[in-house]
A and B are shown apart, each in its own frame.
Chain A
Amino acid sequence: MHLKNPLTLQNKGYVFFDSETMKTFISFLMNQAELIAAHKKGESSYVFRAAENVDEVILDYPRTIQPLKKFFLPPRETLLNFNLEENDFDVPDMETKKRIFFGVHSYELQAIHILDYNFKRGNPESNYLKKREESLFIGISYTPDEYHFGKSVGLEIEKTEGMCLYIEPMEAGYYMFVVDDNGLKLLTEFSSETVALKTETIKPQPKEFQKKIKYHYNRLPQVFDKVYDSSVWKKVSEKCVGCGTCNLLCPTCYCFDVRDEIELDTINGKRERFWDGCMLNTFAEAAGGENFRDKLHNRTRHRLFRKFKYITEHSGELSCVGCGRCTSFCPANISIIDIINNLIEEVSLNS
């Protein structure tokens, strides 16, 4: 099986921004639309949220807690309000305002691309697709930390597909690459004159990933053909406590549960959906209380197979984007890279 080759650094040229110009540009964008960017939260964490103040926008960060999916598939979302007395319901109005996502990493875009694929197939997920409209993405390069492994899943830092602009920080400021016409339009509106794009080749400092999967990403589907009965799953489940953090923070996990909650008048209520995950106890529980994945090792296996096999078989792309969230936020220090490398080791020993 051959996976699709992801495009890399497609651009129409670039301009140079010093730090002050960058701030002015961010202010300009904030006037154009709602600007979503990384912000500091707590002692040492980052989150995406709407920018209110240019100085609070963070351009250099390893990863946010929740991925971008929260803007299109919110952690909690009211699907409908109902009235039992009148036997009636209404669907809450959905906002479709223009949003610019600023300073996002290539894996976030790839994750959105995978979510789009899953939500467009079969019965299109209208709430998600509606919220996806009118989104512009401005990417930025990042320095891989001990958890990133984009390259191992075929995803370079400079992959610009889906972005309109791409930012490469440098010593005295930023290179602003124009990726598509939307990006060019933003730059033209910003400078209110014709933008002279430079096209001389520049070589940004190459950035090494510290974590690597032993095999080329093309071979991973073959590995997953052979590891259903691997002993690795049980070994992982000795450490795993089943908290579900890896699912909930995964940028390509999209499972949710739905619950009806009624008010104290026992007449009015709402149907709410919220993120769910296949690592959680009751995820695979069916009517009658039967749970067909009641053991942690079955659930871990299912999670990995959803990333490297089940969806990959029809999408032709891996569903893991190498952001490292599942590993960096795991309270039990379980590393997805270690799991995959252990599987590879077992496969190569047995072949």
Chain B
Amino acid sequence: MSKPKVAFFDFTSCEGCQLNKLNFENDLLDMLKLVDIVEFREAMDDTADEYDIAFIEGSISSPTCVERIHDIRRRTKILVALGQCAVSGGINAMKNDQPSDWVREEVYGDDKYLFPSLPAMPVRAVVKVDYEVRGCPMSAPEYLHVLKSLVLGRKPEIFDHAVCVECKLKENECVLDKGMFCLGPVTRAGCDALCPSFGQYCTGCRGPVSNINKNGTIEMLKAHGFSVTEAMKRMKLFNTNDMEKSISWGNR
């Protein structure tokens, strides 16, 4: 069996998810035994024409992005969105809430017309995405699970339940009960409740569970002393598209 050809691409993002992969120091060499990395701008110069698996990081936010992602989709068998920008638009999508003209002027000043811009979109708004690895940055164990599953020809199992579940399995004291803010009850698990386990609260960086009860979530946060404005603001930090424009981006 020849090793699958794997490529990594970055779009609008901080490239943190890609860099995260190079940090798997204990697993990196084992990982290289499984796959042939044929294109990875951050780590090597080579490029290739066709791929078995393409991992996409970053959101789609310009006409050039749209062209490139179509091109990659044509040349890969499996396409995986990596990290919250690629999965939901991520933090980049915060700009979608603001007037586009103003946003471009803030960033490019007088040159704003030289840089055509689109609202920050998830990859799945433009091309078919086979699998998604969530989180900001992407969850390393989930990424390895997807990679191993694809190498073995299995369908990866991605959780669609809340971070609360992982907190309860670990018997963590409830962050909301301590009087802190937390989006754990409605954010997708898969991070092993990393933040609440270390005294922090869940910011929702893995996006909402698939059929989130938005009104219920706002009522829940209100009952814990947060205003509607603050609740919405915090829910939108990583997930503006999911909270505001889920229909127009073709939510599954």
Contacts and interface: CB of A to CB of B under 8 A. Distances in A.
B21 to A, nearest CB: 13
Contacts of B162: 241-244, 280
Nearest to B158: A282
Contact of B209 (A238, A242, A265, A331): A242
Given A75-B169, A244-B164, A333 B144 contact: no
B152 to A, nearest CB: 6
A274 interface: yes
Interface stretch (A18-26, A40-48, A203-211, A307-315): A40-48
Contacts of A42: 172-173, 178
B216 A241 contact: yes
A237 B169 contact: no
Given A244-B162, A280-B161, A281-B209, A266 B148 contact: yes
A329 B175 CA distance: 11
Contacts of A275: 165, 168-169
B164 A237 contact: no
A41 B213 contact: no
A274 B192 CA distance: 13
Interface string B46-68: 00000000000000000000000
A41 B148 CA distance: 37
A65 B157 CA distance: 28
Interface stretch (A193-201, A212-220, A256-264): A256-264
A248 B169 contact: yes
A66 B213 contact: no
Contact of A259 (B157, B177, B212, B217): B157
A335 to B, nearest CB: 13
Contacts of A338: none
Contacts of A33: none
Contacts of B211: 242, 281, 294, 296
Contacts of B157: 259
Given A262-B152, A266-B148, A241 B171 contact: no
A243 B169 contact: no
A36 to B, nearest CB: 14
Chain A, interface residues (CB within 8 Å), range? 35 or more
Interface string B5-37: 000000000000000000000010011001000
A332 interface: yes
A331 B151 contact: no
Contacts of B231: none
Contacts of A329: 174, 177
Interface in A210-251: 237-245, 248-249
B211 to A, nearest CB: 7
A329 B151 CA distance: 41
Contacts of A238: 213, 215-216, 219
B219 A239 contact: yes
A259 B189 CA distance: 15
B223 A245 contact: no
Nearest to B175: A331
B171 A41 contact: yes
Given A241-B185, A243-B186, A331 B171 contact: no
Contacts of A261: 145
Contacts of A266: 34, 148, 151-152
A76 interface: yes
Interface string B160-197: 11101100111111101110001011100000000000
Contacts of A274: 169
A239 B160 contact: no
B168 A43 contact: no
A262 B141 CA distance: 12
Interface string A32-69: 00000000011111010000000000000000011000
Contact of A65 (B173, B185, B216): B173
B7 to A, nearest CB: 20
Nearest to B29: A264
A75 B182 CA distance: 23
Contacts of B217: 241
B162 to A, nearest CB: 4
A331 B163 CA distance: 13
B160 A282 contact: yes
B100 interface: no
Contact of A66 (B144, B145, B168, B216): B168
Contacts of A70: 171
Contacts of B210: 281
Contacts of B213: 237-238, 240-242, 296
B103 interface: no
A245 B168 contact: yes
Given A65-B171, A241-B212, A332-B220, 12 more contacts: A43-B178, A44-B173, A45-B174, A238-B216, A239-B216, A241-B185, A241-B216, A242-B213, A244-B165, A266-B151, A296-B213, A332-B219
Interface of A: 41-45, 47, 65-66, 70, 75-76, 237-245, 248-249, 259, 261-262, 264-266, 274-275, 277, 280-282, 294, 296, 329, 331-333
13 contacts: A44-B173, A47-B171, A238-B216, A239-B216, A241-B185, A241-B216, A243-B162, A244-B165, A259-B157, A264-B27, A277-B165, A282-B161, A333-B223
Q: Which 4 A-B pairs have the closest CB atoms?
A: A42-B173, A243-B164, A243-B185, A248-B168
